[in-house]
Amino acid sequence: MNAMMLSDYDVFLFHEGSLQQAYQFMGSHVRNDSRGTYTEFCVWAPNARSVSLAGSFNDWNSAGYELQKWNREGLWAVRVDGDLTGETYKYEITTLSGERKLKADPYGFASEKRPQTASIVYDLEGFKWSDEEWLEKRSGSSIYDKPMFIYEVHAGTWKKKDGKFLSYTELARELIPHVKEHGFTHVELLPVTEHPFDRSWGYQSTGYYAPTSRYGEPHDLMNFINECHRNDIGVILDWVPGHFCKDAHGLYQFDGSFAYEYEEERDRENYTWGTANFDLGKGEVRSFLISNARYWMEVYHIDGFRIDAVANIIYWANQGEQSPNEGAIGFLKKLNQAVFDYDSSILMIAEDSTDWPQVTSPVHYGGLGFNYKWNMGWMNDVLDYMETPPAKRRDVHSLMTFSLLYAFSENYVLPLSHDEVVHGKKSLLDKMPGDYWQKFAQYRLLLGFMCAHPGKKLLFMGSELAPFSEWKDLEEIDWHLMNYDFHLKFNSYFKELVHLYKGAEALYELDHQSRGFEWIDVNNSDQQIFSFIRRGKKENDHLVVICNFSPIVYHGYKVGVPHADFYREILNSDAGKYGGSDQVNPAPLPVCHETYHGKAGSVVMTIPPYGTVYLKPEYGRGE
């Protein structure tokens, strides 16, 4: 990262809310020029009476290390002779009321390991990237017509070593082969910005520019991302620009005033999470956050962001009525424009549970400017359906079909995330009703249906092992399950399913276009069977998908299909090798060329209990 000296124009942009690289002069930087080597510190504290520097280099005695106020808007700076790389520091701020606060650097590139809270002067230069091929491939292609299956990971509990966290280096060595083996295209890391409390999972941050020191140094995280890219794996960061934690060393009442947060209590206090909401209409806050996004892209080569709690950003918090927060909405638009101006191939994924329109439409078309949105409606409806006793599913049939009424109104990711397997919600496997065998069968069915439904995919770590226990956020995932037959067979099914998904253009090329999906039979609520077609871009490239959400086997079942000579079963979740009852269709299914279900022909087949079947058309003589 090149050092950039502060100009009057930079200062204007910073306060106006349009500076995208504030990290190049804010925070601490070692400089070399005609005056020699020195370390420069710059901080924004608009209502401070005075600001001094305390650190390991001056025995935490700030006398003689006063920062000078540059302008009336509250920028303060000081130069200290010498290279202070590796030294710890805080800003000692005297408020207008005379109170003294010790604050970590909002722009600090590294932090002490908890429970210590000081910032560290860190040189981000020096890491040798070798991911040019990945970056070139990413910039030269569009994700919209590509497969995307995201593996959501909490770095602290994916795996542990002697009860301790794996380092970024160890994660690179162990997580990446696991991700490749299972076919995931991306890793999404729950927030890795510095945070004081392990069980906040990173969602309550104090250091937006500092990768958490729990797992190592910034260069170690760079290495993890670099190795992901060298193995054709994208890296998405969970990012929280809506609110921040209120620990004393962090952003809250930074200079004694509400600099980063709203002044009004009803707007500021996020009582649900015990945090403070960013004032997203304030210029300096916008520059802080938009620069932070640019920082992670430019310095760490990340491939995208999952923006947390967009509903809390769009609407004013803690008010009885849902009224739009125009300042925050303006921030989201400005953020997305800035990101895509920098790199149009970046993923900007909104975790949004509202019905706000055009979330994934460009700003110049009146949208918020994201390119993806979590489909929370699909997730809630499908899990509600799956948790309904099979005998009663006919009464809630529309839960499985409703999503197709709006599936192409936005660009969606289908999420089965950490939020669905924690806090007493049970694991995905344990949500399934019935006995041991039935739970596994329905879990295979669920994931088979998910892979065939329009939209990109996301699954939380551990779910590929089919755990009975929900996520235990102080322990590693249940690796011991691979010693048990049903879990091992499920894992084999999952790997084959994901690899099939990635190899079948019909399952992803037209994810966001209505011509990529067509119902065959949408109304069979009595038998709880759904059948539909997924289409690719090429003529005749399609798959027929049949999902049976009942425990009944149907022999001689007739399904309408598009024109072909035969259909071959390429996936059956009930296959014996996966732990199923082996109600499969081993031979090619000849097409009867008479109209059925409104289609040009039909096949007669076996429908497995609690099963997903994918059929591929063949032309010519079947074997």
Enter the tokens of residue 478.
Answer: 């249940």
Strand-pair partners of 39: 30, 80
Residue 185: closest CA among 303, 39, 325: 303
Residue 616: closest CA among 527, 554, 545: 545
By the 8 A CB rule, do 589 and 569 touch?
yes
Enter the tokens of residue 521.
Answer: 């039979």
Strand-pair partners of 336: none
Q: Say if strands 542-548 and 554-561 run parallel, antiparallel, or are unpaired.
A: unpaired
Distance of alpha carbon 413 from alpha carbon 162, whole angstroms: 36
- Residue 512 neighbours by CB distance under 10 Å: 20
| Catalytic (active-site) positions | 308, 351
Strand-pair partners of 547: 530, 612
Strand locations in 391-528, DSSP E? 412-416, 456-460, 517-521
CB-based contacts of 122-125 (< 8 A; 24+ apart in sequence):
122/85, 122/86, 122/217, 122/218, 123/30, 123/85, 124/1, 124/218, 124/299, 125/1
By the 8 A CB rule, do 379 and 371 touch?
no
Q: Say if strands 164-165 and 119-120 run parallel, antiparallel, or are unpaired.
A: unpaired
* CB hemisphere CA count around 232 (13 angstroms): 9
Distance of alpha carbon 467 from alpha carbon 375, whole angstroms: 24
Q: Is 31 helix (H, G, I), strand (E, B) or coil?
A: strand
Query: Can you tell me which residue has the tokens 């990529």?
Result: 516
Enter the tokens of residue 70.
Answer: 């540059």
Distance of alpha carbon 241 from alpha carbon 246, whole angstroms: 15
Residue 85: closest CA among 57, 114, 52: 57
Strand locations in 399-501, DSSP E? 412-416, 456-460
CB-based contacts of 399-408 (< 8 A; 24+ apart in sequence):
400/530, 400/549, 401/522, 401/530, 402/377, 403/375, 403/377, 403/378, 403/453, 404/454, 404/517, 404/519, 406/377, 407/375, 407/378, 407/453, 407/454, 407/455, 407/514, 407/517, 408/454, 408/512, 408/513, 408/514
Q: Is 213 helix (H, G, I), strand (E, B) or coil?
A: helix
